[in-house]
Amino acid sequence: MGWDFETDPEYQEKLDWAAAFVREEVEPLDHVYPHLQFTPMTPTMRTIIDPLKDAVRAQGLWATHLGPELGGQGFGQLKLALLNEILGRSSWASTVFGTQAPDTGNAEIIAHYGTPEQKDRYLTPLLNSEMFSSYSMTEPHAGADPTLFTTRAVKDGDEWVINGWKYFSSNARTASFLIVMVVTNPEISPYKGMSMFLVPTDTPGVDIVRNVGLYGEPIDEGSHALIHYDDVRVPEDALLGGEGMAFAIAQTRLGGGRIHHAMRTIGMAQRAIDMMCERALSRQTAGSLLADKQFVQGYIADSYAQLAQFRLFVLYTAWEIDKYNDYKRVRKDIATAKIVMPTVLHDIAWRAMQVHGALGTTNEMPFFQMIHGAGVMGLADGPTEVHKVTVARQVLRDYRGTDGMWPTEWIPGKIEAARAKFADLLELEVGNL
């Protein structure tokens, strides 16, 4: 078996271009238009941002998570991981490169399960950044357990009528349509009795009750909607992928979304290390540079080791997805990356904040935003604790308990077995003494 950690030269040139492009052209958008990635663009914004998107398309790096038949490049997850590391450094980069969440995951499931008419109405404009979308799944009372969902869709003639509540439907207020996960048959298992619908946000009965913000955002000015679906009527052709397909569709979407979050987190954590090292080499205290202090050296070494391990694991998981083309088969490692991700980002950002002293705690540096982002990543697409249960169950499948009194690695038993294995030779050795 040969091991090669190099990227092919042609793609490395694209990565080098992307790194310079993000640093010089995209990162400034984070300061000119903070938190506006999912808002309708003004004419001025389009004048600035549309040419950046055209430059990305000219490089063949637009929507690389999709295959060529959908306007992407079909590079696969490993190459996407290397690109996403770069995009993770800027909050605008994913939008400029056509890979912004949640639209990427929503585009992926419409591409997989949508009818030609649905693709024409929703997917094409989504890929062209002509509209935004929202994934409306979570419910206020159910948290991370979709088997407790109660939002219902009932057939009425040639229409479906949706009633219920959804929570944390991200970007709903600027979305043109919602992908809504509902119960369509409560008499059978939730895994077979739930379906998804494509619902335009201007459909009568779609009531965005309030927009929940993250910490630090003004009340009712956030982007995570509480939605009441009140007798929302949609036609039969609004059903995505067929009745009872919601769980299969959700796994397609969430598996890719989780590993993509991990890819981008690498870039964010690397940015924190970069800032920490720059500060360590720039600031003096108690007669020497911070970089000469052993505590700071420990911070740098621990951060490098943490990120290097995480990065290699994410790349390995991306390689597995490409090899097997089966998110379910790679479920254990995707969940493991999801578990590790918040801790890596939190720890590295916290150390970087410490090295910056009082300045690091202010809104003039991005560390608390990163730390808060780590908390969000610990809950988005399923809480860390749920994924730990998933990983443990998957790992335990490869093991069996022992029927005897002692563990199989009990040393006295091992000694006895070893002596029995070599008994003839040991007896011969004793006889020759």
Give me the CATH number covering residue 235: 2.40.110.10
Are 365 and 423 contained in the same domain? no
Q: How far apart, in whole angstroms, are the C-alpha atoms of residue 136 and residue 95? A: 20
Given a cut of 70, whether residue 432 has pLDDT beyond it is: no
Are 383 and 263 contained in the same domain? yes
pLDDT digits (tens, 9 = 90+) for 88-103: 999 999 989 988 877 8
Given a cut of 70, whether residue 163 has pLDDT beyond it is: yes
Are 149 and 235 contained in the same domain? yes
Per-residue pLDDT, 1: 58
Given a cut of 70, whether residue 66 has pLDDT beyond it is: yes
Are 264 and 288 contained in the same domain? yes
Are 381 and 433 contained in the same domain? no
Are 254 and 389 contained in the same domain? yes
Q: How far apart, in whole angstroms, are the C-alpha atoms of residue 161 and residue 362? A: 49
Domain range enclosing 428: 402-433
The beta-carbon contacts of 412-420 under 8 Å, at least 24 apart in sequence, are: none
Helix (H) or strand (E) holding 179: strand 177-183
Whole-model pTM over 0.85: yes
Given a cut of 90, whether residue 219 has pLDDT beyond it is: no
Q: From 240, 265, 294, give the residue that closes a domain.
A: 240
Side chain identity at 360, as an amino acid letter? G
Integer CA distances (angstroms), 181 to 105, 280, 377, in order? 14, 49, 22
For residues 397 and 403, the answer to whether their CB atoms sit within 8 Å is no
Length of the chain: 433
pLDDT band at 372 (very low <50, low <70, confident <90, very high): very high
Given a cut of 90, whether residue 28 has pLDDT beyond it is: yes
Given a cut of 70, whether residue 71 has pLDDT beyond it is: no
Nearest of 253, 256, 248, 250 to residue 334 by alpha carbon: 256
- Looking at residues 130-144, what average pLDDT do you find? 89
Are 140 and 102 contained in the same domain? no
pLDDT digits (tens, 9 = 90+) for 37-65: 777 788 999 999 999 999 999 999 988 87
Per-residue pLDDT, 129: 74
Q: How many CB atoms lie within 10 A of CB 90?
A: 24
Domain harbouring 312, CATH code: 1.20.140.10
Q: How far apart, in whole angstroms, are the C-alpha atoms of residue 277 and residue 307? A: 14
> Cα 277 to the chain's mean position, in Å?
27
Are 223 and 261 contained in the same domain? no
Is residue 128 included in any domain, yes or no?
A: no
